[in-house]
Amino acid sequence: MVLDEAKRNAAAAAMEFVEDGMVIGLGTGSTASFFVEFLAEEVEEGLSVKGVPTSEATHKLAMELGVPLLPVEQVERIHLTIDGADEIDAHANLIKGGGGALLREKIIANASDHVIVIAYAGKVAETLGSFPLPVEVTPFGFTLTAKKVYDALRKTGIDKPVVKLREASGKPGPLVTDGGNYILDCECKTIPSPQATALALSVIPGVVEHGLFLSMTRTVILGDEEGAEILEFEY
């Protein structure tokens, strides 16, 4: 209950950045879902916005709650994106993808004027890597790709990484993302150079996207049971 309250407080604080007429990227995960709920309440009161969901799950939730949605093919500008994170460092670099939506999340974040990350304060870490780094890969040749991912992690200073295929929940076989891909969860413990690791992963054939979101977030809102702290960053 305390954790949920912290997430709600972060999500509620993000509503201060929402303005009438905005196109808003809607993130994926439990904290982002609280934001969608708050947004739906304001829409019911007359707020005029359009949402762009980052996953099928968020699309379904927004539809159920009555948040107007804009197909991504019709998007010309995204004013604001509100999303969660699995881990946050002191420079607002992130690990994302625990919910399996990292590809769409990064596309929407990259197209946004302003990205806000909402999370409970326990997501902050001195160095990224405690949370396993998700890497989205094509199903074809994924075992070959996994070996290349392991090599890239080692070459960028990660000692003894463990690369595992993410399994689906409640049924046999690998998790399949909304984009039809697989996810490799990479246990790194510490990522000494997120920039070097991001670059090394990006050039591997078969890697669709990785969960390092670097220099993309202008605002981080950290919630606890008492309220929320708003942190601003410049790049």
Evaluate the CA torsion angle 193, 162, 165, 207 in order and state its sign: positive
Task: Please answer whether residues 93 and 214 qualify as being in contact, where contact means their C-beta atoms are separated by less than 8 angstroms.
Answer: yes
187 is catalytic: no
84 phi, psi to nearest 5 deg:
-95, -170
CA distance 217 to 18: 16
Residues 6+ apart with CB under 8 A from 165: 142, 146, 174, 182, 183, 184, 185
d(C-alpha 49, C-alpha 200), whole Å: 38
> What is the three-class DSSP state of 10?
helix
**Which of 87, 105, 136, 209 is labelled catalytic?**
105
Residues acting as catalytic residues: 105
